[in-house]
Chains A and B, each alone.
Chain A
């Protein structure tokens, strides 16, 4: 490679890294969802393979994808928490579906999520992310998310708002460093309590090694005071078809467990998240790529 071009790419990678880092430090942070959906639910996003199902997730930043496959689809369903002592038959659940497409060094992802609670409240989320892999070692993406939430009986007007985000994945020899800044309001909701606060996430994800793959992730956001969340996870591959993962997170304390079955470019993941007070959340994800 031309040394000059190499220098330019290095400078661009550094610039992208600092650009992404600077955004969240200027803002507040914190998403509504308690944990990431899909494949990442079982490891709280600590395990990331740009060439595996974690990088292909349509609801994850496009910058996290780094494979040669051209397109794919995913679907996920999550049932949140244990049955409680009221509305026993009414669940809080979310369904997600999306796809992605790669054209040369451009990757686009789009997904749609629908959350309903107790048959009385719903949230819809449209997600779009575009990334480029042109920068060596640093895949950078921009995200755009539109939200719409409201009461299902129509007694109150729905509220809509739009957020933006940026992500970068820096791939190194033994690990990858991911940085993302989400929920930066482009169009804020009229009242407080709708917009989740912006969040800065930084994580280190190892490549597969003799002990599987490991990862740590940190989140920072401002909710009154600055809040910090730490996660650490592990995934172990028994073979090319079967893997298990687990993760632990703080603030709030939660335990994540996941099982993934892979067959060629298709995978299915079953994940569980346990919270000491609210109980178990269950998630199931299917992924197909070509």
Chain B
């Protein structure tokens, strides 16, 4: 009995002492690096509903450091009225989250490299009310919650930021992490703001920059990804930042990287490479110093259209990132408008297609489109278009994706500049406000334009000329224009075959292929004549480049065997060209 009470007394004394010791250890840890790696401020559902904003707001934190992080004296706040103590999810007190049995509960530690989700306490109720409102959370994720009825002061507004700190309800010992517009030494009387981005309902934000200040966030490309930090590759996180001023021919680039959940391994090495036409040149390289969490280096990068890559080699495993220089420098006209669809239908929204005709990746963040009357940003988030890749900009991404489900690189600007159905001019400005592309179209240029898209035949030519555009037989958003290959020619041509052809339904050579290739400004009428000089039929090419003749005359009868002639009368405003080809029909 005596010994038991002594142990209890000692335990009562030691317990606070142990907590203080742990607090000191954690506060003194040089390798602590905990980040807010996902934040859902606007969940699916009504703003005060369960499920909805009242229950499904959540926060993901990741221990990127090499030391275990202890969830004690950890607070979250967004403004003076919203200070929450972070506590482990207690299955007895908060309820059993049946869909997340493979997660970790009642745990107050976060192992190096591990993720934790801070859930609203009402999430349990949301699962009771509507089980389908459950999140998808990676197994092994530590589940935490707050000790009040909700996260933040009456929930998180779309422009609310949050900060995690160690301390008490009344004082900050140190800031652990924040999701805010700026780096700042917050005080508990501050209101934290985080205004960009503001993604649609159900989409979280994730950090695009953790290793430099100010922090930056973007909408999560997959909507929601709780339980893992998607920006790490093979456990590595790398970021870079350019100096505000550059020399004109090169720019200093600060690089930073870390290995999630560990110190930088000494056996790993890094390099910055310049790649031009598959020729790789190392601009800088080195190895990492032990006992540091984040490595930082500075490299001078030439401002040219080469592709620059930062790669890390660890145990013969390569991890690389493409360094996006396009925010600082691009070739003169890197992006071209390649296809236009102004004549929208009920279920077919307006769109236009951009192609990166340069050899470097181009980030269209803060690029603008429109004309002299109005212009709007294409996107205000990072969106990189690789060399030769396409980006479709549409008025309504949902409708567009329903119409073209296979096209993935689609962007819906916040504001849409309507394309005129008859004639219009469309321009692109880069992120520095420099006009980079101008195209124009006029219905008078086309004979058969109803509701088709307009395809550019060559991005090398002037996009404001009638010679650059043709009515596309089929829309091809996100893909090369079929007509570009055929109508980029300078001279018209006509090809027919096979010769002889035999329309006798034996499955062999039953059709005559008539392929008429025209420069964009030309139109053609085709007719087929017999040896007896009578016109068998007209070949209605429309906007097609190929017509298949079945060997029948205009009245449906069988065309006579023997020689026949395909006559193409090709016109533009300046001239008329007649191309005549002869063939043999046999049955």
State whether these chains interact.
yes
Contact call B560/A252, Cβ cutoff below 8 A: no
Interface assignment of A82: CB less than 8 Å from any CB of chain B: yes
Interface assignment of A156: CB less than 8 Å from any CB of chain B: yes
Give the residues in chain A near B502, CB-CB below 8 Å: 156
Q: How many A-B residue pairs have CB under 8 A?
A: 104
Size of chain B's interface in residues, with CB distance under 8 A?
37
Give the residues in chain B near A251, CB-CB below 8 Å: 534
Contact call A84/B533, Cβ cutoff below 8 A: no
Give the residues in chain A near B555, CB-CB below 8 Å: 223-225
Contact call A121/B556, Cβ cutoff below 8 A: no
Q: Which of A80, A150, A254 contacts B531 (CB 8 A)?
A: A80
Given contacts A117-B584, A277-B567, A278-B565, contact A86 B559 (CB under 8 A): no
Residue of A nearest to B555 (CB): A224
Interface assignment of B581: CB less than 8 Å from any CB of chain A: yes
Interface assignment of A194: CB less than 8 Å from any CB of chain B: yes
Residue of A nearest to B497 (CB): A86
Given contacts A84-B565, A191-B504, contact A223 B557 (CB under 8 A): yes
A224–B534 alpha-carbon span in the complex (Å) = 13
Give the residues in chain B near A106, CB-CB below 8 Å: none
A33–B496 alpha-carbon span in the complex (Å) = 23
Give A2 Cβ to nearest chain B Cβ, in Å: 48
Contact call B559/A193, Cβ cutoff below 8 A: yes
Q: Mark A143-155, 1 if CB is under 8 A from B, else 0.
A: 0000001110000
Q: Mark A35-49, 1 if CB is under 8 A from B, else 0.
A: 000000000000000
Interface assignment of A5: CB less than 8 Å from any CB of chain B: no
Contact call A121/B562, Cβ cutoff below 8 A: yes
Max chain A Cβ within 10 angstroms of own Cβ: one of B557, B560, B581, B582: B582
Contact call A34/B531, Cβ cutoff below 8 A: yes
Residue of A nearest to B567 (CB): A277
Give the residues in chain B near A92, CB-CB below 8 Å: 531, 563, 582
Give the residues in chain A near B527, CB-CB below 8 Å: 277
A120–B497 alpha-carbon span in the complex (Å) = 14
Contact call A85/B494, Cβ cutoff below 8 A: yes
Give the residues in chain A near B561, CB-CB below 8 Å: 121, 149, 159, 193-194
Give the residues in chain B near A31, CB-CB below 8 Å: 532
A214–B393 alpha-carbon span in the complex (Å) = 73
Give the residues in chain A near B532, CB-CB below 8 Å: 30-34
Residue of A nearest to B531 (CB): A32
Contact call B581/A149, Cβ cutoff below 8 A: no
The A-contacting residues of B in range 561-587, CB under 8 angstroms, are 561-563, 565, 567, 578-587
Interface assignment of B434: CB less than 8 Å from any CB of chain A: no
Interface assignment of A290: CB less than 8 Å from any CB of chain B: no
Known: A33-B532, A84-B580, A156-B502. 5 other contacts (CB 8 A): A86-B581, A120-B500, A120-B584, A150-B586, A191-B558
Residues of chain A having any CB pair with chain B under 8 Å: 30-34, 80-82, 84-87, 92, 117-118, 120-121, 123, 149-151, 156, 159, 191-194, 196, 223-225, 251-252, 254, 275, 277-278
Residues of chain B having any CB pair with chain A under 8 Å: 494, 496, 499-500, 502, 504, 527, 529, 531-535, 551, 553-563, 565, 567, 578-587
Leading 5 A-B pairs by shortest Cβ distance:
A224-B555, A192-B558, A193-B558, A117-B563, A84-B580
